[in-house]
Amino acid sequence: MLAIVSLLVFFQALGASIGALTAVWGEIAYMRAMRDGKIDVAERAHLRVIAHGLRLGMLLILLSSLGLVVTAYVFEANIQPALTASYWILIALALLIVGISWALSRRRISFSLGTAALFTAWWFLAYLTLGWLPLISFGAATAFFLVATMIFYAVLQGARFFTLRKS
């Protein structure tokens, strides 16, 4: 059982890390692509590869999370993952990423706010799965996420301003 759980935790952390690093890569690629004001065919193909990396990261997170819940149930573990705040924070972040991605693709949310929220959510997932996020309640995680999103919004807007401004 320990080997299975370790493998599932590894894949969960791998998926979150892939997502977080791909989010950074995507933001850098977007800023480079928008320097001339339009996205050409090669840049669009590059952004498509990044989108596949984000999908792979989310798939790894969700499948390994489901595997951890099933494994804990089958082996009758004392602590069921579905009863912990960390599990529900992870699920809420995964659903948030999917929902914001959908809203961005349908232009229902501003690009700047949506990308800041996605960037923050991916890094929260990475920190949570790697065990670097302190044990906090769901409400505290929500508040921390909102504050971090506003900080990343300001940082990304500043980076875009200085990178994309016409000299």
CA 44 – CA 42 distance, rounded (Å): 5
Question: Taking the complete model, does pTM exceed 0.95, yes or no?
Answer: no
pLDDT surpasses 90 at 17: yes
At residue 40, the pLDDT reads 83
pLDDT, tens digit, 9 for 90 and up, residues 139-158: 999 999 999 999 999 999 99
Range with the lowest mean pLDDT among 16-20, 28-32, 97-101, 117-121? 28-32
pLDDT (mean) for 83-89:
93
**Averaged confidence pLDDT in the chain:** 91
86-to-34, 80, 116, 125, 131 alpha-carbon distances in Å: 37, 11, 22, 10, 10
b/e string for 5-42 if b means 16 or more Cβ within 10 A? Answer: beebbebbbbbbbbbbebbebbbebbeebeeeeeeeee
The model's confidence at residue 106, banded by pLDDT at 50, 70 and 90, is: very high
The model's confidence at residue 38, banded by pLDDT at 50, 70 and 90, is: confident
Range with the lowest mean pLDDT among 36-45, 53-62, 126-135? 36-45
At residue 79, the pLDDT reads 84
How many structural domains is the chain composed of? Answer: 1
CA 148 – CA 154 distance, rounded (Å): 10
pLDDT surpasses 90 at 30: no
- Which spans in the chain are helix H? 2-33, 41-74, 85-105, 111-130, 138-164
**Is residue 1 helix, strand or coil?**
coil
91, two tokens: 């699920």
Domain that holds residue 42: 2-164
